A and B are shown apart, each in its own frame.
Chain A
Amino acid sequence: MQAPDFQLKRDAFGRLVLTAADGSVCEGVVPVRAFPISAPGEGIALVGPDGHEAAWIERLDQLPQALRQLVEEELARREFVPEIRRIHEVSSFATPSTWKIDTDRGETTLILWGEEDIRRLGKSGLLIEDSNGIHFLVRDINRLDRASRRLLDRFL
């Protein structure tokens, strides 16, 4: 485990403050995953408020514990991709269609504008964009229960 050449801490406003190797300070950096879907644990940029990359993290699991926790916390605050656990009902099989769903973040509804807003991820994953631009994840269709799968299948 190699130590990164920058330091990170959280200030009273809850922002991340980065101190680079050369001593320059950047307030309010945010972690951004380079491949949020295909490789979430690799390649994370710390981007400053000016939109410039201030630091680069090769692998999350190679960071020292404290640093890693800070980054993960901040990622958790920024990332919102509810994972669909169950589809209770859909208002219609024609779009736009309103779905009542259960996610890992609680129950909600989503409005699907069109079938093309469902994007396939690999063999059995799906990423569904709702009318507000929020992305919902289905990690593995085959792990959904039968009823949900039946409903979902009509849109694929």
Chain B
Amino acid sequence: MISANNHGVDQLSALPDAWRAEIEAGLGADESLQVWLETDLDTGLRYSRGLVALTNRRLLALQAEEPKRREWTFQPELSLLHHDHAGVGTLELRDAASCLATWRYTIGQNPAAQRLFDEFERQLESRLSGRPVERPPEERCPKCNTLLEPGQEECPVCAREIHAPPSTRTLLRLGRFARPYRWPLFWGFILTLISTAAAMVPPYLTMPLMDDVLIPYQSGKPIDAGLVVLLLGGLLGAAVLAWGLGWVKTYILSLVAEHIGSDLRTATFEHLMRLSLEYYGGKRTGDLMARIGSESDRICQFLSVHVLEFATDMLMIAMTAVILFSVDPWLALVTLLPLPFIAWMIQLVRHRLRIGFEKADRIWSEISNVLADTIPGIRVVKAFAQENRETQRFRAANAINLTVNDRVNRIWSLFSPTVTLLTEVGLLVVWAFGIWQVSRDQITVGVLTAFLAYITRFYTRLDSMSRIVSTTQRAATGAKRLFDILDHVSSVPDPARPVRLGEVKGRIEIRDVGFRYGNRSVLRGVDLTVEPGEMIGLVGHSGSGKTTLVNLICRFYDVTEGAIRLDGADIRSLAVADYRRNIGLVLQEPFLFFGTVADNIAYGKPDASRQQIIDAARAAHAHEFILRLPQGYDSLVGERGQGLSGGERQRISIARALLIDPHMLILDEATSSVDTETETEIQKALDNLVRGRTTIAIAHRLSTLRRANRLVVLDRGRIVETGNHDELMAREGAYYRLYEAQARNIDVDLDETAEPGWKMEHKAKDE
């Protein structure tokens, strides 16, 4: 527990400089700053800084425009109100008769606002009653107001807020994937070096062939057959050597590249599997598929073909340059003349190409998105006869693809021939300069021939080397898009030092939980304790946040405010997989993977024996219908278990949950989508499943929840009633009306049955 005074000193020193002097000067004797909120909007919703500060005596507000400073001393009837809408939070100060002031801020400041709101009530209460402040014996993160575990210093929420963008030098980052292959890579490089060197020999031998054999013959000397054989033998040997080495090195390096590409793909997928549902909520399937599928392939291509070529070319150019300079520096200088031009041009187009490729890749994702949208939805497309419209959508995406690629091609188509032209001109210059030098007897004809032989190669390489610009940019964008996935930190991260889960009892405490999807607040101030072995029935109309609460308990998402604890430990401090192993989940829409029935049942426990699988199926009342399938437990169920009816699929998913023998069981409308007869079957299966486990069951039909120990009624993200069936019926509240209406078989909206009173229980309201 933090003492009030200490707290005040901390608060003052943590205050941004702009405000500190002003606040400090205004504090009276034994007045101390408690909490503050920096607002970033004014009342007209323009960006503007302001401060709302709470002392143990009053509320102070500072702002940039007039009135610069306002204050309200504590008095009875003063109250704060706090709500948010569409990303903007509002804090309102009222007395009994009217609204005294409002402050607006963007949602990022919400934790501070919440803290101010909580503390305001405590301080006001304490000041008016003269009793010391009663602070709950818990520590909260000073930045974001999250409950901290005793002794936990690092806040699990703040620790994960990583806003740093990934480095853009993405291709270099592929090094991480190359490390395991450094020896093959090393040998590959050595081989490249030798084979390139071997390829340098033939032009060199043209020099003695010219100067010592052909030219002397023209001036009347006989041909030295021995020398010719020796030189030609050298030529042949070098060629064969270059061929052999080239073969081996290409093989080694392609192999490595293939491995790197496959590692990259797997790593990305592995990482993707760990990301939270929040990530998937914001991504489109087609886009992710395109990234993992084609981008990794592109990188692999780049590594296996182009990098290799590029390395060879670089070596060749370097070696050629050395040889040329050693033979005749002046001629060499002229030879290398086009190089700077080409370098300059590369620089010029590189940037444009990259942007073009980025766009092309995005459009490619868009094309995949159309596919990923339409194919699973094909029944709807056909039912509404919208085939043409989807085709149109596909065509449109494709057309953009064409335009974008056209832009790239236009740049590219100019670039490549220009390089060729430059090299042709270069050749011309060398001829001219060479003839001039020969005429002045500065070099021999042999030297000129050798030069020409070298640079013809050299220039063709230059041309192909410039091509690497495009492939490099292409691979770089691919790598960037993969690293976009790889760099994404899961929003439900594993803690750095996870608390070990001992024997799980199954006590779930939901403490003051708030949750929002983006800026949309869905749960507020939910408090609930589920004892081990207890069965809770969660009811409420559609959209009231039942599934959301269950998602939080499963830790598919992390709470925005408050905490959820299992046997006293914050679930954020547990290893995610460890924790989830204790949860059996049955959803309304059971998902069956492509595979056999047995595989699907054993999904959560792949090492289950056949006997165990059958036992689970029996308990789930699935055994008999499975036996009726043509291949029993070995029957294949399609992509979405299309061969099975809804009730059958549901029972398989119940068997799946039963098999892992979880301590906690979560049923989210497990029987809503089936007919009553099947429901009775499923209900029997569920009764087996529920026994002795902490259970949270959501059901549309209230009769399904007859076994529940307690019923919890949710409405618009708040718990409005709790109790068992009889208590709630006696209370004649929301549940009563819901039940009555259902008994009369009228589908009822909970809102209409509600009294106005029970909604206003909490002051912090959200619109």
Q: Which of A50, A82, A116 contacts B282 (CB 8 A)?
A: A116
CB neighbours of B97 from chain A (8 A): 12
Partner of A97, one of B165, B284, B355, B759: B165
A103: nearest residue on chain B (CB-CB)? B47
A80 to B104 alpha-carbon distance, docked (Å): 11
Q: When the two chains form their complex, are residues A14 and B102 in contact, meaning their CB atoms are under 8 A apart?
A: yes
**Does the CB pair A92–B99 fall under 8 Å?**
no
- A94 on interface, CB distance cutoff 8 Å: yes
- Note all chain B residues with C-beta closer than 8 A to A30: 767
Given the complex, which residues of B lie within 8 Å of A123, measured CB to CB? none
Does B520 sit at the interface, judged by CB under 8 A? Answer: yes
Q: B588 CB to closest chain A CB, in angstroms? A: 24
Out of A78, A94, A103, A115, which one reaches B85, CB within 8 Å? A78
A13–B98 contact, CB under 8 A? yes
Q: Give residues of chain A (117-136) contacting chain B, Cβ–Cβ below 8 Å.
A: 117, 129, 131-135
B163 and A111 contact, CB distance less than 8 A: yes
Contacts of B359 in A (CB 8 A): 156
For the complex, give the distance between the alpha carbons of A108 and B45 in Å.
12
B165 touches A106 (CB 8 A): no
B480 touches A94 (CB 8 A): yes
Chain B residues lying within 8 Å of A133, measured Cβ to Cβ, are: 86-87, 107, 516, 518-520
**Contact of A116 with B283 in the complex, beta carbons under 8 Å:** yes
* Cα of A97 to Cα of B165 in the assembled complex, Å: 6
B45 touches A50 (CB 8 A): no
Verify A92–B287 contact, CB threshold 8 A: no
B651 within 8 A of A: no
Residue among A49, A111, A115, A129 making CB contact with B518, cutoff 8 Å: A129
Which B residues are CB-close (under 8 A) to A132?
87, 106-108, 519
| Chain B residues whose C-beta falls within 8 Å of the C-beta of A66 in the assembled complex | none
Pairwise interchain contact B518-A14, C-beta atoms closer than 8 A? no
Q: Which residues of A contact B40 (CB under 8 A)?
A: 108
Could you tell me if A80 and B47 are in contact, using CB atoms closer than 8 angstroms? no
Q: How far is the CB of A85 from chain B (nearest CB, A)?
A: 12
Complex Cα–Cα for A139 and B255 (A): 51
What's the nearest-Cβ distance from chain B to residue A132, in Å? 5
Known A-B contacts A13-B98, A156-B359; the reply to A80 vs B88 at CB < 8 A is yes
Q: Which of A72-108 contact B (CB under 8 A)?
A: 76-80, 82, 91-98, 103, 105-108
- Is A153 located at the chain interface by the 8 A CB criterion? yes
Q: For the complex, is A23 an interface residue (Cβ under 8 Å from B)? A: no
> A80 contacts B86, CB within 8 Å?
yes
**In the complex, A20 Cα to B102 Cα: how many Å?**
28
A96 close to B99 (CB less than 8 A): no
* Known A12-B97, A92-B165, A132-B108; contact A50-B756, beta-carbon cutoff 8 A: yes
Shortest distance between the CB of B273 and any CB in chain A (Å)? 18
Provide the bound-state CA to CA distance between A154 and B362, in Å.
Answer: 11
- Distance from A74 Cβ to chain B, minimum over Cβ atoms (Å): 11
Partner of B45, one of A51, A105, A135, A153: A105
Q: Which residue of B lies closest to A79 (CB)?
A: B86
Size category of the B interface is 35 or more
- Of B48, B170, B355, the residue contacting A154 (CB under 8 A) is B355
Q: A12-B97, A78-B86, A94-B165 are in contact. Are A105 and B759 (CB under 8 A)?
A: no
- Chain B positions 738-767 with a Cβ under 8 Å from a chain A Cβ: 751, 754, 756, 759, 765, 767
In B17-46, the 8 Å CB interface with A consists of 40-41, 44-46
**Chain B contact residues: helix, strand, loop or mixed:** mixed
Residues of A39-79 at the interface with B, using a CB-CB cut-off of 8 Å, are 49-52, 76-79
Whether B166 is near chain A, meaning CB under 8 Å from some CB there, is yes
A103 vs B284: C-alpha distance when bound (angstroms): 29
Which residues of B are found within 8 Å of A96, using beta-carbon distances? 163-165
Q: Which residues of B contact A134 (CB under 8 A)?
A: 86-88, 106-107, 519
CB distance B282 to A117 under 8 Å? yes
Most B CB atoms within 10 A — which of A115, A133, A135? Answer: A133
**Interface pair A106/B48, CB less than 8 Å apart:** yes
B362 touches A115 (CB 8 A): yes
Mark contacts of B71-93 with chain A using CB atoms, 8 A cut-off: 1 yes-contact digit, 0 otherwise: 00000000000000111100010
Nearest CB in chain A to that of B44: its residue: A76
User: Is B168 part of the contact surface with A, judged by Cβ < 8 Å?
Assistant: yes
Residue of B nearest to A133 (CB): B519
- Taking a contact as CB atoms under 8 Å apart, the answer to whether B168 and A93 are in contact is yes
**B355 lies within 8 A of A105 (CB):** no
Asked if A135 and B87 make an inter-chain contact with CB atoms under 8 angstroms apart, the answer reads yes
Beta-carbon nearest neighbor of A108 in chain B: B47
Question: In the bound complex, do residue A116 and residue B484 qualify as a contact, i.e. CB atoms below 8 Å apart?
Answer: no
Q: Which residue of B lies closest to A107 (CB)?
A: B47
> Which chain A positions have C-beta within 8 A of B362?
115, 156
Interchain CA distance A116-B98 in the complex, whole Å: 44
Let me know if A6 is at the binding interface, CB within 8 A. Answer: no
Point out the residues of chain B lying under 8 angstroms from A113, CB to CB: 282
User: B433-473 interface mask toward A, CB cutoff 8 Å, 1 = contact, 0 = none?
Assistant: 00000000000000000000000000000000000000000
State whether A13 touches B94 (Cβ < 8 A).
Answer: yes
| CA A98 to CA B164, docked complex, whole Å | 9
Query: Does B524 have its Cβ within 8 Å of any Cβ on chain A?
Result: no
B93 CB, nearest partner CB in chain A, Å = 11
A80 touches B355 (CB 8 A): no
Which residues of chain B are near A14, meaning CB under 8 Å? 92, 99, 102
Chain A residues with Cβ below 8 Å from B767 are 30, 49, 78
B503-530 CB mask vs A (1 if < 8 Å, else 0) is 0000000000000101110000000000
B57: interface (CB < 8 Å): no
Interface pairs (15), CB distance under 8 Å: A49-B759, A49-B767, A50-B759, A52-B751, A77-B45, A78-B88, A92-B165, A93-B168, A94-B170, A98-B165, A105-B45, A105-B47, A116-B284, A117-B282, A133-B520
A-B contacts besides A113-B282, A133-B520, 13 pairs, CB < 8 Å: A50-B754, A50-B756, A51-B716, A80-B86, A98-B165, A105-B45, A105-B46, A106-B48, A111-B163, A116-B283, A116-B284, A132-B87, A135-B86
Kindly list the 10 A-B residue pairs having the minimum CB-CB distance in the complex, ordered from nearest: A133-B519, A106-B47, A133-B518, A12-B98, A134-B87, A92-B165, A105-B46, A80-B88, A13-B99, A14-B99
